[in-house]
Amino acid sequence: SQQGEEDPQALSIQEGENATMNCSYKTSINNLQWYRQNSGRGLVHLILIRSNEREKHSGRLRVTLDTSKKSSSLLITASRAADTASYFCATGEFKAAGNKLTFGGGTRVLVKP
Amino acid sequence: KAGVTQTPRYLIKTRGQQVTLSCSPISGHRSVSWYQQTPGQGLQFLFEYFSETQRNKGNFPGRFSGRQFSNSRSEMNVSTLELGDSALYLCASSWTGGTGELFFGEGSRLTVL
């Protein structure tokens, strides 16, 4: 089963608009990460937010984390056609031994020029 | 610095055969994780190796196995292939294997006929 569930499953926007996607998870976590995957390729790490952080920015990305609601959101501002990809949240369980990230189902984002 | 390298990139096998996939992590990375990605199940954790020891294992049958060598390179093997094993197999490496950022390879796409 997947720890993170993402919403929406798919999103279509015009270039220049903002894209927001959400992730919910079930267990206590060390951190939550967001990754991007272009079609059929490997995943690329975007941003990591620790469980004691509430908001983090990286370029045009803004991530929030609400541990009381076990949810996170990823905002991409001023989207570009190159942002077309699938976006996944991933959680690392609190006190888990070793490296075991659990990924959500992903949000497919289409940015139309 | 070279990224994570996975070989082969594409392969086709028939049911009942076995397959071995290879992953060379980023130099200096000691943790290697494997994930299976399918349209139906999404990204699922297979196992993680750190310093030649398996530290975590996902919920996959014993047909799926792996190992890590002293130079941190890793292989995974799937025996007695089934049609449902068709997937993109992704390898990821990280420095220490805590639940931090993962660096992914481009994956090995396996098709089982």
Q: What integer pLDDT is reported at residue A94 of this predicted model?
A: 58
How large is the average pLDDT for residues A29-57? 94
> In chain B, which residues touch A (CB < 8 A)?
4, 31, 33, 35, 42-45, 48, 50, 55-56, 58, 88, 90, 92, 94, 97-107, 109
Q: What integer pLDDT is reported at residue B2 of this predicted model?
A: 82
A1 — pLDDT class (breaks 50, 70, 90): very low
Does the distance separating the beta carbons of A33 and B88 come in below 8 Å?
no
Across chain B, which has 113 residues, the per-10-residue mean pLDDT values are 93 98 95 94 93 92 97 97 98 79 95 98
How large is the average pLDDT for residues A7-21? 96
Residue A81 DSSP symbol: G
A2 — pLDDT class (breaks 50, 70, 90): very low
Please report residues of A whose CB lies closer than 8 A to that of B97.
Answer: 98-99
* pLDDT tens figures, A62-73: 999 999 999 999
Distances from the Cα of A84 to the Cα of A107, B100, B106, angstroms: 11, 25, 18
Could you please report the per-residue DSSP string of chain B? ----EEE-SEEEE-TT--EEEEEEPPTT--EEEEEEEETTTEEEEEEEEETTEEEEE-S--TTEEEEE-TTS-EEEEE-S--GGG-EEEEEEEESS-SS---EE---EEEEE-
Interface membership of A43 toward B (CB under 8 Å): yes
- Quick one: closest CA in A to B6, which residue? A42
Q: What integer pLDDT is reported at residue A6 of this predicted model?
A: 86
